[in-house]
Structure 1
Amino acid sequence: MNVQVIDGANGFVGSHLTGALLARGDEVIALARASAKVVRRRVADALLCLGFDESLADRLRVRGLALDEPDLGLPVAEVFAERCTFWHTAALVTFFPRREEDLLNVNVAGSANALATYERHARPGSRYIFIGTAYQCGLDTEGPVPEDWPAHASPDRFRNFYEYSKREAEIALARSRSAREGAVLVARLGVMVGHSRTGRALTDYGLYDFLRVMAFFARRTPGERVRLPCHPDANLHLTPIDATVSRLLSLSGGDQDRPIFHVVNGGTVPVRDLFDVINARLPIELVPATPEQILERPFNRFEAVVNMRAKYTATYFRHHYDFEWRDPAAPPAVTPAVLDRLVSWYVREGLPE
């Protein structure tokens, strides 16, 4: 059994993946900037969320990580003492402007440093798994996005610089020795959400950032009607953390004919359905509107303010996405009941007071 090395182990995906590997009985080395105490607490929370014994986090080996230092600042003789699967989950996730330099430093240069460290020190037979995003496709969404290595595109072809940075990291990975030798797996994730059976989420990104903004305005001025610009068939590839971790474990253990996988679901969530669930759980009425409808009747002041606050996540409502997916017969992970569970848990438990 390989040793599992996970960088970014205190992140949302990293902590749940670490917990699932510990629960499977694997030896796991967690790499993170945070202290060992913080990492173990995050992994213990993830174990509890996944339904496992949180005390398994005590078995975790934690080592400091510095993406900008030679060899990541690691004790490489220890970390790479045996053949391993190296999971690169560490990333900066932000849609806000003026973070371009930070995104390049972490997601592009940091990813390159992680790969170089792995290639210098990993034992023969090791494997490198890069956690990416399905939305690295940017604005070029005609037809299903293929599970192929991407080509260069200018930053203006993306909704945000985060997408661009993740695509650039994939392009660099495609040129690597590990990719040529078939030792690389790229797992492109959808929109990460909480646990499908409980709704519990240990993150404030993506959908939850949008919910937080909507709840803020709903509580201040309940009952208001807000239109948001949407594609007529806008959809979201919501991916519960439990389903994502299960798929990642399955992918990592098999021999694959192609190195790139979209870790999404065949069934997507229409944005209209999301709005209906939010409207049922918060004192606000969200209404999808086409650009033509908004041009015909411009936003009132309240609508303009809400749209301004939500613009970084709501931009995903303006497109319809299809991704190649290799298990079309599988049932969707987010049914209407699961969607209601995800939203209601966050409204009840996750929102700041």
Structure 2
Amino acid sequence: MTGASEMQQWAYGNGWSALPGGRPAGPPGTRGMRLLVAGLTGQVGQGLLEACRDLGADGPEVVALVRRRPRAAHVFGPTVTQQVVGDVCRPGWGLSGPDLDALGRIDAVVDLAGTTDWTASHAALDRVNVLGASHGLDLTQLLGDRLGTAVPYLYAGSVFVAGLTQGSVAEDLLSPDTDRTPYELSKWTAERALMTRARRSGHPVLVARVGGVVGNSRTGRTTRRSSLYQLVSRRDEDKALRILPAQRGARVDTLPRDVIGETLLRVLGHGRRTSFADWRHGVIAQAAAGERAPTLAAVLAQLESVDEGSRYHVPRLVPASRGTLETVTRLGTRYVRWSRQAGNRLHGLRYTSVNRVFERHRLASLTGGWLPAVPLETVLRITFELAERPPAAPVAELPLGRFQ
């Protein structure tokens, strides 16, 4: 390990974080914070809880917004000290005056709730992804009025609001585009509405665009399969994907859920130290692998080399233009009725087959210079349930007398 990039890639595989210069990163600064969080049962929500547990006493205290009824204590673990029943689809997340009184001090509101089924209807996606986001900001402003201080709002968006944009994707609002799917459009509409309101009011708002999500970096535990998994077929499947259309240089931007959880905690902790000055009037950051994301070709080649049991059929890459990807992934689902599995597979092409890099300059500034990074082998192990390779045994040094 000699350079900063090698150090970054190695860091998470060995259980610690690093700054771009290779220095170990300290705690995120969330000790003593009290967060109101919606969406803790989802993939990113579970990752946030895992990151909090990893921090121990340095982690924040979490108040969970739950639907219908409180969960048993073991569902969330000791990080969640309070539960409040509500619904992100209702104004103010469905919380009454007495509910708000019972919350006590809240240092930030975090909205991780979202519908991620790419085949869901426009109405279902907008109800949670758009209205839920707007209602969350309403609630945050109401809490601020009651507490006498501005309460920052963190909304988990998606890097895939970029649609089929190629090249470098900036951490700024993106222009309207006709090639977005209903899911992409719902997340794009939500972040645009939040940024518009924040710029008018000056309220501290952060839209954290999250990239692809896989399970926990250590245990592999997951709540759903990633788009990458859906595009590689098991050999025992009846209909295996033999070819995979993709642009040359296409990247797979994926992070384990606990790494994303730590990323969110670090932007919250750094924001707290700076009184959330950088969040005021709205800000967008991309919680993704960015320039460290591997190419799809490298991912498939590495999978083929580590899949010792040959359980997966690795498809052959076929060069495809943006127009081809748009036809296959968007128009194909508009005019043909697919099963949920087939529809999500087609949508998954959009998230692994485009040649682009999600910028992370603002993310670095909002974390004090820290950036998430994981080795490719770790992502493959989690995604495809591959056995972790034991460390290589040291080889005894051979005598060099005969060469002297």
TM-score relative to the length of structure 1: 0.77
Deviation at 1:37, TM superposition (A): 2.5
CA distance in structure 2 between the partners assigned to 1:324 and 1:220 by the alignment: 37
CA contact (8 A) 1:199 1:338 kept: no
Question: Which residue does the alignment assign to 2:116?
Answer: 93
**Residue correspondence of structure 1 range 244-263 to structure 2 within 5 A:** 244-254=260-270, 255=274, 257=278, 259-263=283-287
The equivalent position to 1:285 in structure 2, one of 282, 289, 314, is: 314
CA distance in structure 2 between the partners assigned to 1:324 and 1:221 by the alignment: 39
Deviation at 1:6, TM superposition (A): 0.1
1:31 aligns with 2:65: yes
Question: Which residue does the alignment assign to 2:168?
Answer: 144
| Unpaired stretches in structure 2, ≥5 consecutive residues | 1-31, 325-338, 389-404
CA contact (8 A) 2:143 2:151 kept: no
Question: Which residue does the alignment assign to 2:15?
Answer: none
SS for the counterpart of 1:220 is coil
Q: In the TM superposition, what whole-angstrom CA distance separates every residue of 1:122-181 from its partner, at most 9, and x where no partner exists?
A: 33132111111112111233x321112334x14x322x2111111100111012258742
Question: Which residue does the alignment assign to 1:102?
Answer: 124
1:203 aligns with 2:224: yes
Question: Which residue does the alignment assign to 2:351?
Answer: 316
Letter in 1 for 2:360: W
Question: Which residue does the alignment assign to 1:239?
Answer: 255
Letter in 2 for 1:15: Q
CA contact (8 A) 1:138 1:163 kept: yes
CA contact (8 A) 1:140 1:157 kept: no
CA contact (8 A) 1:15 1:42 kept: no
Which 4+ residue blocks in structure 1 deviate beyond 6 angstroms?
305-309, 328-332
Question: Which residue does the alignment assign to 1:183?
Answer: 204
1:14 aligns with 2:45: yes
Question: Which residue does the alignment assign to 2:330?
Answer: none
Question: Which residue does the alignment assign to 1:172?
Answer: 193
| Unpaired stretches in structure 1, ≥5 consecutive residues | 45-55, 296-304, 349-353
CA distance in structure 2 between the partners assigned to 1:145 and 1:35 by the alignment: 40
User: Alpha carbons of 1:9 and 1:253: their partners in 2 closer, same or farther (altered >3 Å)?
Assistant: same
User: Alpha carbons of 1:275 and 1:41: their partners in 2 closer, same or farther (altered >3 Å)?
Assistant: farther
CA contact (8 A) 1:199 1:346 kept: no
1:117 aligns with 2:148: no
Letter in 2 for 1:337: E
CA distance in structure 2 between the partners assigned to 1:177 and 1:285 by the alignment: 46
User: Alpha carbons of 1:2 and 1:178: their partners in 2 closer, same or farther (altered >3 Å)?
Assistant: farther
Q: In the TM superposition, what whole-angstrom CA distance separates every residue of 1:46-79 from its partner, at most 9, and x where no partner exists?
A: xxxxxxxxxx25x531222212323222244235
Higher relative contact order (CA 8 A, sep 6+): 2
Paired residues, number: 314
CA contact (8 A) 1:198 1:341 kept: no
Deviation at 1:347, TM superposition (A): 8.9
Question: Which residue does the alignment assign to 1:53?
Answer: none
Deviation at 1:19, TM superposition (A): 4.4
CA contact (8 A) 1:267 1:331 kept: no
CA contact (8 A) 1:229 1:291 kept: yes
Cα RMSD of the aligned pairs, angstroms, is 3.2
**Residue correspondence of structure 1 range 269-348 to structure 2 within 5 A:** 269-279=294-304, 280=307, 281-291=310-320, 310-326=345-361, 327=364, 333-345=373-385
- Between 1:77-86 and 1:188-197, the stretch displaced more is 77-86
CA distance in structure 2 between the partners assigned to 1:82 and 1:241 by the alignment: 27
CA distance in structure 2 between the partners assigned to 1:320 and 1:118 by the alignment: 37
CA contact (8 A) 1:5 1:28 kept: yes
TM-score relative to the length of structure 2: 0.68
CA distance in structure 2 between the partners assigned to 1:311 and 1:182 by the alignment: 38
CA distance in structure 2 between the partners assigned to 1:275 and 1:130 by the alignment: 32
